[in-house]
Every structure is written in structure tokens, then in C-alpha cells.
Chain A
């Protein structure tokens, strides 16, 4: 299995909702990442997990809460989001942090209404 699988592919949520984005890989990668991409902009790093521990948080608001339950799974819990949080959320993995060979998922397109 050489893929990163993200679910759901699309999500519409209200500003009072709580939802979660899921990411899964079975390549034995020990680094996993969340990127946020606004329309016509580059992906921007949000969080890095290394060996299931949070190693980088790029000053992301607390309404985004990452979780890494095991080496294959990465979740992003969403609560009280704003319309400007609407974006494509991309998950990626690599052997270790900063190593060559990132694998990206196809993303979750989130709309906050």
C-alpha cells in the first residue's frame, strides 16, 4: 500500500459543529503532516507529528486539534470554525520528518457555513 487515504473527501459544517478529518497510511512512515491550502495559494504547514508525537505546531488556532492515535492514523478535530477556515486540508507522510519522499493524500475540501 503506497497511498495516504483521507476521509471525507468533502465536508460542509456549521460554525457550531464538531467534526474530524481522518488520514491513514500503511507505509510505515513515522512522520505525518497536516497542510492547509486556500484557493489559488500554496499549501501551508499546520502540524507535524514525528513518531506519534507533535513536533511542530505552526501557531495554528486551538479550534484545530490534531491527534495521532497510532503510527498509521492522523486526525484533525475541528470545533467552532470560521468561514475563513474553508480550504483544502492535505495530509502527508514521509519516512521521518524532512526526509525525501512525501506522499500526499488527495485532501478534504472543507466548507464552513
Chain B
């Protein structure tokens, strides 16, 4: 599959905003996703964005998509200790290609 890149670690203070970034290489991606995985747990779908959108907001979560630069970001407002987890971006390309995950960003929230 296509490579999906993320920075590996992010540390923020409780109450601050977190921004997790992702770059992808498949310009024909149709849907892009953010998943959360807490230690020892399965995958939780947080949010997604369709490729013809620039932005999507869902409560504390804001997703920005820059198709020109193939850049996706997830902003978490008022970050809480319960947000500590690994966050994976993932994409579905055109031509019925299966879901491909980025390497994941470990978010640590400091109280």
C-alpha cells in the first residue's frame, strides 16, 4: 500500500490543544480517518473526512485536509489525560484498495 507518515511522539499539557499530523502519498484517496488506540485495547474510530472536504469539526476534534500537500491533521482542543493514546491516520485509496494505516503518533498528556 501507499506510505502514510506520522510523527511518532507528541507530549502536551492538560488543557492545551494537541495537533497530530499525517502525510499520505495516494492522491486518489477517497476517505481519510483518525483512529485512537489506548494501551491493550482495540481500535476506536474517532472521525473521518471525505476527500472533497477541507475541514470537519466534531466537538473537541477538528480535522483539516490539504489535498494539494497530501497533509491531514487532527486537532484536539482542551486535551485531557484520557486522550493519552496512540493515534493512527488511515486512508482508503481509489480502486477499492483496503484501509492502510500510518505508523501512529503516541500522545502523552501531562497533568
Contacts and interface: CB of A to CB of B under 8 A. Distances in A.
Contacts of B50: 100
Nearest to B106: A40
A109 to B, nearest CB: 8
A88 B53 CA distance: 33
B86 A98 contact: no
Interface stretch (B54-62, B65-73, B74-82, B89-97): B89-97
Interface of B is mostly: loop
B103 A102 contact: no
A42 B103 contact: yes
Contacts of A45: 1, 98-100
A33 B98 contact: yes
Contacts of B43: 43, 90, 104
A101 B29 CA distance: 14
Nearest to B92: A98
B4 to A, nearest CB: 8
Contact of B42 (A42, A98, A104): A104
Contacts of A42: 88, 101-104
6 contacts: A40-B106, A41-B103, A97-B96, A98-B93, A98-B95, A105-B42
